[in-house]
């Protein structure tokens, strides 16, 4: 997936649950079309939001930030490449907790250590092509709950 599509998906994904019920491809195309009309000031703030979020994600989770811990015949292991089904809720959740950046950075090891169990418990939510609104919301809520539980331990 191209970098441009990942940025588009980040912003479209943040709005989709609020505003849209059309097919994802149609929604992304329309969001891109509308985004080309946004004022420069809004685009600048979007850029800052994306850059701060992706930096925080990589600072907390490292290079494996968007990889899925998955079940195989040989047992549980990390998928060998990033996946959209992980990228979207991770980016969403971290963007919703930017104000707690310092705490997340302090808890980075704990967050990374919690991920295998998190994916084992929530595996059905992340496997396959689950893209309806309820699935999207469930993944977002699950990642937010994970972050919030770790942040509450860290106080």
Quick one: pLDDT band at residue 20, thresholds 50, 70, 90?
low
pLDDT tens for 96-130 read: 999 999 999 999 999 999 999 999 999 999 886 67
What are the pLDDT digits (tens) for 52-105?
999 999 999 998 899 999 988 999 999 999 998 999 999 999 999 999 999 999
- Asked if residue 31 has pLDDT above 60, the reply is yes
DSSP H/E element including 72:
strand 67-72
Tokens standing for residue 138: 């469930």
**Which ranges of 38-132 does DSSP label H, i.e. alpha helix?**
40-61, 84-96, 101-106, 108-121, 123-126
The pLDDT of residue 135 is 85
Burial letters 126-139, b for 16+ CB under 10 A, else e: beeeeeeeebbebb
pLDDT band with cut points at 50, 70 and 90 for residue 17:
low
**Cβ–Cβ under 8 Å, residues 53 and 61:** no
Say whether pLDDT at 22 is over 60.
yes
Is a pLDDT exceeding 60 seen at residue 12?
yes
Q: Which residues contact 45 (CB under 8 A, 6 or more apart)?
A: none
The reported pLDDT for the residue numbered 43 is 84
- Packing angle, helices 40-61 and 3-19, rounded to 10: 100
């Amino acid at each position: 997936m191209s970098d441009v599509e990942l940025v588009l998906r980040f912003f479209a994904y943040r709005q989709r649950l609020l505003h849209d019920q059309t097919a994802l491809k149609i929604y992304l195309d329309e969001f891109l079309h509308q985004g080309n009309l946004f004022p420069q000031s809004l685009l600048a703030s979007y850029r800052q939001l994306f850059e701060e979020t992706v930096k925080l994600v990589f600072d907390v989770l490292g290079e494996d930030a968007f990889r899925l811990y998955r079940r195989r015949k040989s047992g549980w292991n990390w998928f060998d490449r990033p996946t959209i089904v992980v990228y979207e809720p991770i980016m969403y959740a971290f963007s919703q907790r930017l104000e707690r950046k310092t705490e997340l950075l302090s808890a980075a090891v704990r967050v990374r250590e919690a991920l295998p169990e998190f994916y084992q418990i929530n595996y059905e939510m992340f496997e396959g092509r689950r893209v309806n609104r309820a699935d999207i919301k469930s993944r977002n809520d699950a990642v937010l709950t994970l972050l919030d539980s770790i942040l509450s331990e860290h106080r």
